């Protein structure tokens, strides 16, 4: 804003009017002063002329015959007194016969007046006028001279008046003029001040309101109701203020709506301005990049520390059109894969900035990999028994069938591999049924002990073969569980089967159940070979086996624990494992109480 000191408009108007008035009045004064001075002088001159010609007439009448000095002097004294002027009468040769200002004695010594300019003029042209210093009376005077005499010039009569008298009159007039003009000036000043204050009041109010609008305060309205341009302007400002206010409110609300949408978006969103500085980052993106400090106004590289993201932002801002897409892998510190789309934001041909959207596709990629691995695993698992079946069948066909003893062994291998295939297919079907939710489960309260006993008796043969003892530690009064009995048995069968398979010769298995809030916790504890700690997180994945060769040798497919996990989850429980190498493992799962 302007920092120069402000001069209020009413003072400006007053100042302007006073200058104009002063100039006009000064011009008026000079004109009038000149006029009055001239006029006064002319009037006095005219008076002198008239009076001189009157005196001349008297002279011509009274002194037509004789010419008496004494009388002439008395005449001039008389007339001078009557008119309040100096009257001088001279002979045609310039000898002064009478003078109203001189006594008889001085009259004798007065010098000849013939060469006085007015006398010379009067003699040559019949009338003489002059303004000059009088040596006789020692004053500046106005002289007027006429020759007199009826047929020839008998003398000259001269009337004079001190110029100081004229000046006195004109200066008195001048004073009156100055006083009246000063009064007029003061009146003009006062009136113009009042008028300008009156005119500028609405302007002041408007300027004050406009300033408060500029500060963002829309609560003030201009209260000017004059029916003229000023009133129109006030109305326009009020309307403009309302419009701006409502537009601002609209912008604010749409902006906050947009911000709320952007900030709460699951996808990460980054908005940059036309220079590539960050304007906004969604909560999810801040969390992904662990941004805790201020980021607004910084370059993406400074905030997310990734050169690829900076490149995308730069290219979008440079190209100003199209969509830029890229897949980037970040270590944050876990590996995450993002598909990034960046678009420039333009208005007309002008670039306003850019928007970058981050889709986290890590899970998608992981699932893709799981699927690929699964297909590879399934094919592999199917191929082994199939190759074996095909091989033995061919051997039999090529004649081994006649060797009774070998033929029987081969057929047994074919049979067991076919079983293995059947189990594999059965397990896979189970898994896919559970995963797709197609596995039928009838949840009803059931007692745990009979289920455990049935499973243990099923595994008696295997455990007995390796002298493994199986104990149960379940309170007879244990609450019933809410489960599908068949599926519960499937869980236990898998876990106890593993506990037998991965146990040591003469090992021990304990099946324990305890109650907790809302759940029954079932533990299958073995004294087997244990599982290395780093394998534990992946243990429940499909086809995952710690020791592939051993598991396969034992007829395992690596699907057992995956099935366990899925069934437990679909029954509403959790499964976990704790294991120490060479000491044994504990598999623990929960089932809701009935
Ligand atoms: N009680 C245990 N002690 C030691 N290792 C175990 C135990 N239970 C499971 N494992 C390990 O976890 C792997 C996965 O077990 P899972 O039951 O899923 O497959 P499997 O027993 O090999 O085959 P399947 O159960 O399909 O016959 C096993 O191969 C084994 O290495
Ligand atoms: Mg198993």
Q: pLDDT at position 560, please? A: 93
Mean pLDDT of 20-31: 92
In a domain, 246, yes or no: no
- What residues have a C-beta under 5 A from ligand 2, the ion? 498, 560
Half-sphere exposure of 418 (CA within 13 A, CB side): 11
**Domain total of the chain:** 4
Question: Which residues is 331 bridged to in the sheet?
Answer: 335
Mean pLDDT of 85-103: 88
In this structure, which residue's CA is closest to atom 13 in ligand 1?
A: 545
Structure tokens that stand for 125 in this block: 């042209």
Q: Quick one: pLDDT band at residue 258, thresholds 50, 70, 90?
A: confident
Q: What is the pLDDT of residues 342-354, one digit of tens each?
A: 999 988 888 899 9
In a domain, 252, yes or no: no
Classify residue 127 by burial, with Cβ atoms within 10 Å: 0-12, 13-18, 19+.
Answer: middle
Residue 505 CA, ligand 2 centroid: distance in Å: 18
In a domain, 184, yes or no: no
545 Cβ below 6 A of ligand 1: yes
Length of the chain: 594
In a domain, 501, yes or no: yes
Residue 529 CA, ligand 1 centroid: distance in Å: 11
495 Cβ below 6 A of ligand 1: no
Q: Quick one: pLDDT band at residue 64, thresholds 50, 70, 90?
A: low
pTM, whole model, 2 decimals?
A: 0.52
In a domain, 201, yes or no: no
Structure tokens that stand for 215 in this block: 């500060």
502 Cβ below 6 A of ligand 1: yes
CATH number at residue 556: 3.30.565.10
Mean pLDDT of 58-71: 71
388 in the same domain as 301: no
Percentage of residues in the chain with pLDDT exceeding 90?
48
- Is the pLDDT confidence value at 517 over 80? yes
Q: What is the pLDDT of residues 376-422, one digit of tens each?
A: 988 988 898 999 999 999 999 998 889 888 899 999 999 999 998 99
- Is the pLDDT confidence value at 8 over 90? no
Q: pLDDT at position 19, please? A: 93
Structure tokens that stand for 110 in this block: 């007065």
404 in the same domain as 468: no
Residue 494 CA, ligand 2 centroid: distance in Å: 5
- Is the pLDDT confidence value at 52 over 90? no
In this structure, which residue's CA is closest to atom 19 in ligand 1?
A: 558
Residue 369 CA, ligand 2 centroid: distance in Å: 23
165 in the same domain as 33: yes
Nearest to 304 by CA among 319, 327, 287, 323: 287
Which ligand number lies closest to the CA of residue 540?
1
- Is the pLDDT confidence value at 69 over 70? no
524 in the same domain as 420: no
- Is the pLDDT confidence value at 275 over 90? yes
Using CA atoms, how far apart are residues 486 and 255, in angstroms rounded to an integer? Answer: 58
Domain boundary among 170, 191, 210: 170
Nearest to 111 by CA among 95, 123, 99, 127: 95
Kindly compute the dihedral angle of the four CA atoms of residues 330, 334, 339, 342, in this order, to the nearest 10 degrees: -50
428 in the same domain as 444: no
Q: pLDDT at position 63, please? A: 67
468 in the same domain as 323: no
- Is the pLDDT confidence value at 65 over 70? no
- Is the pLDDT confidence value at 441 over 80? yes
Q: Quick one: pLDDT band at residue 254, thresholds 50, 70, 90?
A: very high
507 in the same domain as 485: yes
Tell me the range of 148-162, 324-338, 469-483 where mean pLDDT is highest.
469-483
353 in the same domain as 372: no
Q: pLDDT at position 66, please? A: 61
In a domain, 2, yes or no: no
Q: Are strands 508-516 and 469-473 parallel, antiparallel or unpaired?
A: parallel
Using CA atoms, how far apart are residues 91 and 119, in angstroms rounded to an integer? Answer: 11
529 Cβ below 6 A of ligand 1: yes
Residue 314 DSSP symbol: H
Kindly compute the dihedral angle of the four CA atoms of residues 172, 174, 179, 180, in this order, to the nearest 10 degrees: 110
531 Cβ below 6 A of ligand 1: yes
Q: pLDDT at position 229, please? A: 85
Ligand 1 nearest-atom number relative to CA 499:
1
- Is the pLDDT confidence value at 311 over 90? yes
Lowest mean pLDDT among 67-76, 164-173, 235-244: 67-76
CATH number at residue 17: 3.30.450.20
Domain of 384, in residue numbers: 365-433
Using CA atoms, how far apart are residues 12 and 122, in angstroms rounded to an integer? Answer: 61
Q: What distance separates the 2 farthest-apart alpha carbons in the chain? A: 209
Using CA atoms, how far apart are residues 589 and 571, in angstroms rounded to an integer? Answer: 11
In a domain, 260, yes or no: no
Q: Are strands 335-347 and 324-331 parallel, antiparallel or unpaired?
A: antiparallel
Q: How many CB atoms lie within 10 A of CB 151?
A: 5
421 in the same domain as 393: yes
559 Cβ below 6 A of ligand 1: yes
371 in the same domain as 447: no
Classify residue 113 by burial, with Cβ atoms within 10 Å: 0-12, 13-18, 19+.
Answer: buried
Lowest mean pLDDT among 98-102, 225-229, 293-297: 225-229
Mutate to test the pocket of ligand 1, among 377, 382, 502 (most ligand atoms within 8 A of CB): 502
588 in the same domain as 447: yes
Which ligand number lies closest to the CA of residue 578?
1
Using CA atoms, how far apart are residues 454 and 489, in angstroms rounded to an integer? Answer: 8
Residue 550 CA, ligand 1 centroid: distance in Å: 10
- Supply the Cα-derived Rg of the chain in whole angstroms: 66
CB 300 within 8 A of CB 310: yes
Mean pLDDT of 114-134: 90
Ligand 1 nearest-atom number relative to CA 545:
29
Per the prediction, the chain carries an average pLDDT of 89
Domain boundary among 433, 464, 482: 433
Q: pLDDT at position 174, please? A: 86
Nearest to 304 by CA among 316, 283, 286: 286
Which ligand number lies closest to the CA of residue 555?
1
Q: What is the pLDDT of residues 493-503, one digit of tens each?
A: 999 999 999 99
Q: pLDDT at position 162, please? A: 87
Q: Are strands 139-148 and 128-134 parallel, antiparallel or unpaired?
A: antiparallel
Q: pLDDT at position 497, please? A: 95
Concatenate the DSSP letters of all residues of 9-68 into one string.
Answer: HHHHHHHHHHHHHHHHHHHHHHHHHHHHHHHHHHHHHHHHHHHHHHHHHHHHHHTSS---
- Is the pLDDT confidence value at 1 over 60? no
Q: Degrees (nearest 5) of the Cα angle 320, 324, 327?
A: 160
Domain boundary among 360, 392, 414: 360
In a domain, 277, yes or no: yes
- How far is residue 197 CA from its own chain's centroid? 38
């Amino acid at each position: 804003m302007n920092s120069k000191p402000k001069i209020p408009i009413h003072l400006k108007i007053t100042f302007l009017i006073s200058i104009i008035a002063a100039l006009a009045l000064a011009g008026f004064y000079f004109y009038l002063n000149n006029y009055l001075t001239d006029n006064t002088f002319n009037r006095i001159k005219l008076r002198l002329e008239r009076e001189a010609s009157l005196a001349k007439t008297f002279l011509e009448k009274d002194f037509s015959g004789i010419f008496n000095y004494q009388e002439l002097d008395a005449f001039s004294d008389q007339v001078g007194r009557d008119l309040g002027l100096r009257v001088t009468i001279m002979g045609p040769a310039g000898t002064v016969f009478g003078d109203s200002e001189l006594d008889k004695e001085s009259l004798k010594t007065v010098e000849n007046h013939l060469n006085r300019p007015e006398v010379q003029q009067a003699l040559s042209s019949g009338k003489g006028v002059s303004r000059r210093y009088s040596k006789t009376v020692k004053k500046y005077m106005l002289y007027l001279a006429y020759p007199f005499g009826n047929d020839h010039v008998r003398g000259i009569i001269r009337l004079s008046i001190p110029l100081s008298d004229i000046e006195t009159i004109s200066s008195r007039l001048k004073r009156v003029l100055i006083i009246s003009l000063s009064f007029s000036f003061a009146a003009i000043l006062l009136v113009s001040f009042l008028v300008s204050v009156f005119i500028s009041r609405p302007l002041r109010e408007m300027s004050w309101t406009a300033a408060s609008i500029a500060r963002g305060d829309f609560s003030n309205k201009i209260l000017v109701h004059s029916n003229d341009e000023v009133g129109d302007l006030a109305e326009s400002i009020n309307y403009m203020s309302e419009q701006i206010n409502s537009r601002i409110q609209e912008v604010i609300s749409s902006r906050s709506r947009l911000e709320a949408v952007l900030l709460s978006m699951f996808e990460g969103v980054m908005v940059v301005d036309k220079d590539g500085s960050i304007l906004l980052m969604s909560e999810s993106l801040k969390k992904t990049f662990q941004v805790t400090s201020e980021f607004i106004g910084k370059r993406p590289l400074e905030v997310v520390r990734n050169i690829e993201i900076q490149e995308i932002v730069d290219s979008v801002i440079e190209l100003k059109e199209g969509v830029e897409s890229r897949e980037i892998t970040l270590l944050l510190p876990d590996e995450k894969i993002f598909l990034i789309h960046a678009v420039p934001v333009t208005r007309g041909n002008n670039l306003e900035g850019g928007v970058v959207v981050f889709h986290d596709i890590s899970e998608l990629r992981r699932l893709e990999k799981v699927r690929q691995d699964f297909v590879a695993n399934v094919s592999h698992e199917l191929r082994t028994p199939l190759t074996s079946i095909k091989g033995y069948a061919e051997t039999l066909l090529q004649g081994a069938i006649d060797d009774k003893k070998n033929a029987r062994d081969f057929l047994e291998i074919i049979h067991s591999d076919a079983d293995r295939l059947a189990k594999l297919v059965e397990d896979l079907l189970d898994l896919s049924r559970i995963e797709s939710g197609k596995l039928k489960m009838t949840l009803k309260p059931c007692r745990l002990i009979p289920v455990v006993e049935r499973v243990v008796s099923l595994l008696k043969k295997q455990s007995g073969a390796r002298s493994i003892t199986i104990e149960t530690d379940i309170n007879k009064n244990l609450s019933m569980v809410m489960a599908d009995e068949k599926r519960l048995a499937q869980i236990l069968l898998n876990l106890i089967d593993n506990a037998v398979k991965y146990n040591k010769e003469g090992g021990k298995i304990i099946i324990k159940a305890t109650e907790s809030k809302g759940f029954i916790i079932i533990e299958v504890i073995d004294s087997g070979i244990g599982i290395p700690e780093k394998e534990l997180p992946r243990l429940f994945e499909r086809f995952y086996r710690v020791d592939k060769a051993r598991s396969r040798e034992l007829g395992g497919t690596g699907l057992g624990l995956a099935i366990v996990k899925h069934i437990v989850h679909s029954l509403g429980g959790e499964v976990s494992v704790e294991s120490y190498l060479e000491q044994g493992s504990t598999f623990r799962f929960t089932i809701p109480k009935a």
